[in-house]
Amino acid sequence: MTAVRSAPSPARTALIAVVCGGLVMGLALGVRHVQGLFLVPMTLGRGWPREVFGFAIAMQNLCWGLSQPFVGMIADRHGSARVIASGTLLCLVGLLLMAHATTPVGLVLGGGLVIGVALSCTTFGTVYGAISRLVPPARRSRALGLAGSMGGLGMFLMVPLTQELQAWFGWSTALVLLGVAVLALAPAARALDDVPAKTAAPTSDGTAQSMSAAVREAFGHRGFWLLNAGFTACGFQLAFIAGHLPAYLLDKGLNARDGVVGLAIIALANVASMACFGSWGGVLRRKYLLSAMYLARPTAIALFLLAPLSPLSVDLFCAAIGFLWLGAVPLTNGLVSGVFGLRYIGTLFGFVFFGHQVGAFLGVWLAARVYDATRSYDLIWIAAMGLGVLAAALHLMIDDQPVVRLAPLAGTPA
């Protein structure tokens, strides 16, 4: 007789999903995190001003945000596995185009449009949506934090790896090799097969809620727009720092190694950020955690700018800002699912993430534009601090209670 193989336990399935999701997200976010290391060699090699590179990366952030709601809709209807696998291929294509771009248009097409769509398929919106559906509610916040921690570790490892690839093969070949590494993780998408149930989310009268009704419900909710506005400020701050910190340090007389180490410390601190805020989000109100995080960022920036600049001050700043970095994502995702439910989490988080990426577009592009005009980043640092204070205030005003349709779930952490 042929032995019947038992199906894997739900706990094991959830763990595999978290690990595979973290690996994919780590490489994808790592590719994005090291973009700043290509700014100087690419612009010098092509003879371009910094605004060309800054605009391309800004378009990457904008395309990431623009495509995220639609990618979320596809994942919500048909499952996340195919979306994630397709995203790994798109990442390779985008990096190939970026590596061989000889005109600003080519750079925007590859590094902006294609990689932007690839990131929407392989990072927070899709991966977190899949994990949220595959992991039981009691473990969901911790699972998102664990996956995010793996993503942060991937970002950390990509910094020295990218530096070594550039040293050995040059910046163009390094971009291609990074794309090949991302594509190699396409099979991991199978562990995130979360094909949703055929029934839609229930409403208060027991009928099914359609996707369009869910979107209208969210758009009519004041807290949804406050969350979106706060996340826009978040995107501005983080994209500016990730994209311009290495160049800022070079301008101030430090060496390239200080920028590389700084980005690596940010990524490593993200591991703790995701783990801690992911766990705290399961027991504390997420809007208060987010408000505190957004208020702490301008404090860290102000101390960095006021202190004498040195490799030590850079390391301390990067450790602080890194701990206040990606932890905002599982909190924001959890806030959306806590208010509106899980059925259309990919779609609704996609719309919130669009706001984040509008801010990221402005943070990267305006920083390059202001620098080319003034030869200084001072105005952008000030803007980043002001937006942090504004985001902290906006989150305090969010009504984070579940909508009436989900009244039975009112006891879940918000």
Chain segment 124-167, per-residue pLDDT in tens = 878 888 888 887 777 777 787 788 788 778 877 888 888 889 98
Please check whether residue 206 lies inside any domain of the structure: no
C-alpha angle 329-33-44 in degrees, rounded to nearest 5: 150
Residue 3 forms part of a structural domain: no
Indicate the pLDDT class of residue 9, thresholds 50, 70 and 90.
low
Domain that holds residue 393: 13-194+211-404
The continuous run of DSSP H or E covering 98 comes out as: helix 81-99
Please give the Cα distance from 303 to 390 (Å, whole number): 19
> How does pLDDT run across 283-339, given as a tens digit for each residue?
888 999 999 999 999 999 999 999 999 999 999 999 999 999 878 888 888 888 888
Q: What was the pLDDT predicted at 413?
A: 44
Which pLDDT score, from 0 to 100, does residue 327 have?
Answer: 83
* DSSP H or E segment with residue 286: helix 286-306
> Distances from the Cα of 41 to the Cαs of 86, 209, 249, in angstroms?
30, 51, 15
How confident is the model at residue 405, as a pLDDT? 65
Q: Write the single-letter amino acid at 239.
A: A
Overall number of domains in the chain: 1
CA angle 64, 120, 384 (to 5 degrees): 45
pLDDT tier at 341, thresholds 50, 70, 90: confident
Domain contains 324: yes
Does residue 5 form part of some domain?
A: no
Residue 120 lies in a domain: yes
Phi-psi sector, 6: left (phi>0), alpha (psi -120 to 50), beta: beta
pLDDT digits (tens, 9 = 90+) for 168-218: 999 899 999 999 999 998 998 888 887 654 434 454 444 467 888 888 888
Q: Model-level pTM greater than 0.95? A: no
Burial, 389: exposed, middle or buried (Cβ in 10 Å; 0-12, 13-18, 19+)? Answer: middle
What's the CA gap between 379 and 370, in Å, rounded? 8
Q: Can you give the pLDDT at residue 396?
A: 93
Residue (of 203, 236, 215) closest to 73 by Cα position = 215
Q: DSSP character for 284?
A: S
What CATH number should be reported for the domain holding residue 168? 1.20.1250.20
Assigned domain for 134 exists: yes
Whether 203 is in a domain gets the answer no
Nearest to 191 by CA among 130, 269, 146: 130
Q: Is 314 inside any structural domain?
A: yes
